[in-house]
Amino acid sequence: MRRLSSLKSRLRRLLLRVTPERRPDPNALPPQILRKLVGGDHWDDVGSNQFEYLKKEGLQPGHSLLDLPCGSFRAGRHFIDYLETGHYFGVDMGVVGIERGIQYVLEPLGLMEKRPTIHVGRLTAEPNDLSLFTGFTRFDYIWMHALFDHIPNEIIHRALQDMSSILVPGGKLYATIFLNPHGPAFREPMIRPRNDSLENAVVTFPDHDPWHHTIDFFQETASGIPALRLDACLYDYPHPLGLRMLRFVRESPGAP
The site for ligand SAM (CB under 6 A) is made up of 40, 69, 71, 74-75, 92-94, 97, 122-123, 145-147, 150-151, 155
C-alpha 148/C-alpha 204 separation (Å) is 12
- H helices of the chain, where? 2-16, 31-38, 43-56, 76-82, 95-100, 131-134, 153-164, 215-223
Q: How many CB atoms lie within 10 A of CB 198?
A: 9
- Least CB distance to ligand SAM at residue 228 (A): 19
Contacts of 216 (CB under 8 A, 6+ apart): 183, 184
Nearest residue (CB) to ligand SAM, 26 versus 71: 71
- Least CB distance to ligand SAM at residue 72 (A): 7
C-alpha 48/C-alpha 79 separation (Å) is 9
Nearest residue (CB) to ligand SAM, 19 versus 32: 32
How buried is 231 (Cβ within 10 angstroms: 0-12 exposed, 13-18 middle, 19+ buried)?
middle
Nearest residue (CB) to ligand SAM, 162 versus 231: 162
- Least CB distance to ligand SAM at residue 5 (A): 25
Q: Are 175 and 144 in contact (CB under 8 A)?
A: yes
Nearest residue (CB) to ligand SAM, 12 versus 150: 150
- Least CB distance to ligand SAM at residue 128 (A): 9
- Least CB distance to ligand SAM at residue 169 (A): 25
Residue type for position 77:
R
Nearest residue (CB) to ligand SAM, 96 versus 255: 96
Q: Are 219 and 238 in contact (CB under 8 A)?
A: no
- Least CB distance to ligand SAM at residue 133 (A): 11
C-alpha 251/C-alpha 228 separation (Å) is 6
Nearest residue (CB) to ligand SAM, 41 versus 216: 41
